Amino acid sequence: MLSEFSLIDRYFARRAKAPSPRQGDAPLGIGDDCALIAPPAGHQLAISTDMLVAGRHFFADVDARALGHKALAVNLSDLAAMGAKPHAFTLALALPHADEAWLEAFSDGMFALAERFDCALVGGDTTSGPLNICITVFGDVAHASALRRDAAKPGDDIYVSGTLGDARAGLGVMRGEWRAPDEAASAWKRALEKPEPRVALGLALGGVAHAALDISDGLAGDLMHILRRSAVSATVDADAVPCSDAVRALPEAARRQCALAGGDDYELCFTAPRNARDSIARIGERVGVALTRIGTIESGAPGIAWRDGSGAALSLTLQGFDHFHAD
Amino acid sequence: MLSEFSLIDRYFARRAKAPSPRQGDAPLGIGDDCALIAPPAGHQLAISTDMLVAGRHFFADVDARALGHKALAVNLSDLAAMGAKPHAFTLALALPHADEAWLEAFSDGMFALAERFDCALVGGDTTSGPLNICITVFGDVAHASALRRDAAKPGDDIYVSGTLGDARAGLGVMRGEWRAPDEAASAWKRALEKPEPRVALGLALGGVAHAALDISDGLAGDLMHILRRSAVSATVDADAVPCSDAVRALPEAARRQCALAGGDDYELCFTAPRNARDSIARIGERVGVALTRIGTIESGAPGIAWRDGSGAALSLTLQGFDHFHAD
């Protein structure tokens, strides 16, 4: 197996590179015991790691190019949620066998996204084993700009970016839970398989927003992370949560399940003070991402009071963790 | 599965902590989208990632406490080989099911080692799936002190730390390739399962040694990494390679295979100029690790000329990559 896995190493190594040079940085990438990187002066490294397992986080027969994209995208999304600028990543990969066509497509999808964000592969590990992808990503964030989960304040507005529910709606089609016109089903599948990390938005929100995270497990569950860590509560207008027309066309229960509890959208949820409304609107225009105000942070024990568009209380039965992950 | 894997998250989170505070560092650990760390001024972060797969890197029934130790130890060893001081690590873990006794033992082994080196768990990911352990480790290294693989110079002495071959000898007993007295077999098994990362040695060698790496795949193959990256050759006295008495008692072919091509020892191999011999000797005494001079770096195309103790050329047939890894 030596030659086979050496080939895989070389496969990635030939597209790896040292990170963009910068002051105080003498980068050392693939081929030594460690990669060496340093954040710019006054910055920290934001670090996130995600492990993707076949059959849990993706279907084993998923398009390899899309998988390469998604494996890195979910990590870049964590950087975006922190307001950090992508810099470098490591890839650890277990593969049952070396399939050149698969590797070509997987690495194409991964490097296409990496290059868009100037994020260099600086190290890694490959081995034989059940398919498993573990990426650790490194970004730069200025000390004062980090978007932490524990920074929400009573009176803050709550926003989400883009539209929610498309990825979950796509999963529903694949599972046979509901059907949709071809065009909608294609768009949903794309949302599920090729999420767009909101990097520019996260960077722009630094110093403006208070708390932020990316919605990987569904709005209801993820917002609760902010509420618990910030020791605050929230009121959310369920009808204000932005959805695509196709998701809006689903029956009400399915629509709410997708929009409020569906995972894998990788949009940002963030809070910001009322006096930042104009700034937030300008940021949304500048980065070209719709930003929708869906509720407010209040003092009180962590919990979400759901309202409908008329302001009436809603009693929702949501599965809190309803996405591709089975765990 | 939610509750089960939330339990696992909490299992590790309760023993996680923010990294040791230091100037310019506002650490943020488990519970946010990212961990935030920064090296001290004038330093870089050394980063290494290793993925361990059941059946490839360890026997599926290995003692969980030893596995927790080894999973972190192999990563700390990469930091040692770079001359970096351990600071933090992330753990991504796929488990077929949540077995509390296994988790207790695994995390005990891992945290016992982490605490010895003041290395904080700052983030991670847990999921269900075939057993897979991916650790990414972060250490601090001063710009001028990094021990790179490409820094060997003609005229350098070549050293190794400790003794080589014990881990491979232990694997041989488990595989039934050879037998040994109980005491030797126990010591070998310990060497295989609980390697000691040479962190203090790596730190002490910064600014003194030229090139270094840790011997994970066997001396012959690993030394070639230094030779290729430094564009130099080496002459090595095979009989000078330090072995335990028990390995020395093996038949010659087995002994040479273990000492020269056996992996998983995690000792350091490094080069240093002749005028550093006294410094190297003092470092060995100070950190309490035997350091043995085994050869010299020469100009010429990358390759190893093996000699025996009398200086006569040896023609060795070594499997280059002979350790637990099957890949």
The answer to whether A122 faces chain B, any CB pair under 8 Å, is yes
The answer to whether A312 faces chain B, any CB pair under 8 Å, is no
B157-307 CATH fold:
Phosphoribosyl-aminoimidazole Synthetase; Chain A, domain 2 (3.90.650)
Number of H helices, E strands in chain A: 10, 11
The answer to whether A59 faces chain B, any CB pair under 8 Å, is no
**Both tokens of residue B183?**
């005491």
Using CA atoms in the order A182, A185, A186, A190, what is the torsion angle rounded to 10 degrees?
180
- Is residue A270 within 8 A of residue A234, CB to CB? The reply is no
**Superfamily the domain B4-142 falls into:** PurM-like, N-terminal domain (3.30.1330.10)
B169 contacts: CB under 8 Å, gap ≥ 6: B178, B180, B184, B188, B191, B246, B247, B250, B254, B258, B262
Contacts with A84 from chain B: Cβ below 8 Å: 34
pLDDT digit string, tens, across residues B307-327: 998 999 988 877 654 444 433
DSSP A175-229: HTS----HHHHHHHHHHHHS----HHHHHHHTTT-S-EEE-SS-HHHHHHHHHHH
Contacts with B35 from chain A: Cβ below 8 Å: 46-48
- Is residue A206 within 8 A of residue A142, CB to CB? The reply is yes
Contacts with A81 from chain B: Cβ below 8 Å: 33-34
- Residue B13, pLDDT > 90, answer no
Comparing alpha-carbon positions, the chain A residue that sits nearest to B79 is A34
**Chain A (251-310) residues lying within 8 Å, Cβ to Cβ, of chain B:** none
Strand-pair category, A120-128 with A35-37: unpaired
Domain boundaries, chain A: 4-142, 157-307
Whether residue A94 and residue B51 make contact (CB cut-off 8 A), yes or no, is yes
Contacts with B122 from chain A: Cβ below 8 Å: 47
Whether residue A125 and residue B49 make contact (CB cut-off 8 A), yes or no, is yes
Angle at B218 between CA A90 and CA A34, to 5 degrees: 25
The answer to whether B327 faces chain A, any CB pair under 8 Å, is yes
The answer to whether A228 faces chain B, any CB pair under 8 Å, is no
Candidate from B34, B143, B326 with C-beta closest to A128: B326
Closest Cα of chain A to B198: distance in Å? 14
Contacts with B81 from chain A: Cβ below 8 Å: 33-34
Identify from B34, B77, B90 which residue to disrupt to test chain A contact, counting A C-beta atoms within 10 A and taking the largest count: B34
Contacts with B126 from chain A: Cβ below 8 Å: 51, 327
Whether residue B132 and residue A136 make contact (CB cut-off 8 A), yes or no, is no
Candidate from B33, B50, B150 with C-beta closest to A48: B33
Identify from A8, A9, A34, A323 which residue to disrupt to test chain B contact, counting B C-beta atoms within 10 A and taking the largest count: A34
Q: Which of A29-33, B103-107, B120-124 has the lowest mean pLDDT?
A: A29-33
Whether residue A56 and residue B81 make contact (CB cut-off 8 A), yes or no, is no
Tell me the pLDDT of chain A (327 aa) as tens digits: 334 556 666 777 766 665 655 544 445 556 788 888 888 888 999 999 999 998 888 877 889 999 999 999 999 999 999 999 999 999 999 998 888 889 989 999 999 999 999 999 988 888 889 999 999 999 999 988 899 999 999 999 999 999 999 999 999 998 899 999 999 999 999 999 899 999 999 999 999 999 999 999 899 999 999 999 999 999 999 999 999 999 999 999 999 999 999 989 999 999 999 999 999 999 999 999 999 999 999 999 999 999 998 999 988 877 654 444 433
Whether residue B213 and residue A33 make contact (CB cut-off 8 A), yes or no, is yes
- Is residue B159 within 8 A of residue B292, CB to CB? The reply is yes
Predicted ipTM > 0.90: no
> Is B157-307 in the same CATH topology as B4-142?
no
pLDDT digit string, tens, across residues A47-101: 999 999 988 888 778 899 999 999 999 999 999 999 999 999 999 999 988 888 8
Contacts with B125 from chain A: Cβ below 8 Å: 49-51, 134
Element (H, E) at B43: strand B43-53
The answer to whether B144 faces chain A, any CB pair under 8 Å, is no
Closest Cα of chain B to A293: distance in Å? 22
Closest Cα of chain B to A36: distance in Å? 5
Contacts with B320 from chain A: Cβ below 8 Å: 2
Number of CB atoms found within 10 A of residue A24's CB: 14
Whether residue A130 and residue B53 make contact (CB cut-off 8 A), yes or no, is yes
**Chain B (28-47) residues lying within 8 Å, Cβ to Cβ, of chain A:** 28, 31-39, 42-47
The answer to whether A55 faces chain B, any CB pair under 8 Å, is yes
**Both tokens of residue A306?**
């759901």
Comparing alpha-carbon positions, the chain B residue that sits nearest to A144 is B26
Number of H helices, E strands in chain B: 10, 11
pLDDT at B22: 55
Whether residue A134 and residue B138 make contact (CB cut-off 8 A), yes or no, is no
Contacts with A79 from chain B: Cβ below 8 Å: 33-34
**Both tokens of residue B95?**
């488990």
Task: Kindly report the average pLDDT of chain B as a whole number.
Answer: 88
pLDDT digit string, tens, across residues A6-49: 666 677 776 666 565 554 444 555 678 888 888 888 899 999 99
